[in-house]
Amino acid sequence: MHLISLKDWTREEILDVVERSIEIKRFPNKFENLMRGRSLALLFQKTSTRTRCAGEVGMSQLGGHAFFLDWGVTNFVLTDFQDEIRVLSAYVDVILARLLKHADVIRAAEVSSVPIINGCCDRYHPTQILADLMTIQEKLGRIEGVKLTYVGIHNNVCNSLIAAGMKVGMEITIVAPMTNPAAADEALLAEACRTGLCRSSECLSEAIAESDVVYTDTWVDMEFFGNPEFEDEKQRRIELMQPYQLNNAIMEGHNALVMHCLPAHRGYEISGNLIADPRSIMFDQSENRLYGMKALFAEVMRRNGAE
């Protein structure tokens, strides 16, 4: 009933949402009453543009109602987390939660009487990857057999790419000299490697040469960006990761599509001119967050026996 990480979703469930997303994009009017009378709470501990807007707008375009709860102005700040989730779930039909810690996403799912959708924690970012698969399907006409290189810090986005990628038959190469400590999921990585669909590489140029898609993400997750205590680590990462920047030089002579979940940090993980390059499909990805979110609402409600 919940969407926590995509690890427990089947290939069919993932591909159904991708297919439905494409259908919703093409025929929006067909779905305008799908969520009539339904309410969505967006509970966010972290900043967001895409996930929040796709959730709020998506729900309203489906005929439902959505409201944003900024963590800091709720009573989540002063009482028991699970009590408050239990209360919130009595008012609404779905909760889209962007929580700092993965453990809290699990704790929310334990007590919620309605589906919890993980809107990006420190370990996984499943709603992003559903929209990314949709974008790959649109651009390449297939997902199975697509060769994707993820370059950057091994983080929440990388984990969800691996979790979904191995189910849908994508070949993923990871070029990541370091892992965010909170994102370390050795069991997931080992399982993905066992399928033969996932491998690590130290050579970015070789990986790009063999790829249909190259994907990168921020070297520092959003919650640490303005944190003075993280400043030294941020500088260390900038030095360590500079050779792994995606730019026109490393992409020269290659036709691979370039993906980024956004927000991007120009001049760090990616150059500004590559963002504007015709190979870049990141604004398609971000637009597709809307259709992905709508298809996801339909899916969790269906699984919850409401459709």
Q: What residue ranges bind ligand NVA (CB under 6 A)?
A: 120, 125, 155-157, 217-218, 221-222, 261
Q: Which does 137 bind (CB under 5 to 8 A by kind): ligand NVA, ligand CP, none?
A: none
| CA of residue 244 relative to chain centroid, distance | 21
Using the rule CB under 6 A, which residue among 108, 188, 259, 261 binds ligand CP?
A: 261
Q: Tokens at residue 94, please?
A: 């779905």
Using the rule CB under 6 A, which residue among 112, 118, 128, 137 binds ligand CP?
A: 128
CA distance 46 to 43: 9
CA distance 298 to 306: 9
Smallest distance, Å, CB 36 to ligand CP? 26
Using CB atoms, what's the residue nearest to ligand CP? Answer: 51
Which CB sits closer to ligand CP, 153 or 171?
153
Which CB sits closer to ligand NVA, 93 or 132?
132
CA distance 90 to 239: 48
Q: Which does 49 bind (CB under 5 to 8 A by kind): ligand CP, ligand NVA, none?
A: ligand CP
Cis link prior to 115 (omega < 30° from 0)? no
Which CB sits closer to ligand NVA, 89 or 180?
180
CA distance 91 to 167: 34
Amino acid at 113: S
- All residues at 6 or more sequence positions from 151 whose CB lies less than 8 Å from its CB, including other chains: 175, 176, 204, 207, 214, 215, 216, 244, 246
Which CB sits closer to ligand CP, 50 or 154?
50
Q: Is 248 exposed, middle or buried (0-12, 13-18, 19+ CB in 10 A)?
A: exposed
Which CB sits closer to ligand NVA, 34 or 158?
158
Smallest distance, Å, CB 304 to ligand NVA? 26
Q: Does 167 bind ligand CP (CB under 6 A)?
A: no
Binding mask 30-69 for ligand CP (x = CB under 6 A): ------------------xxxx------------------
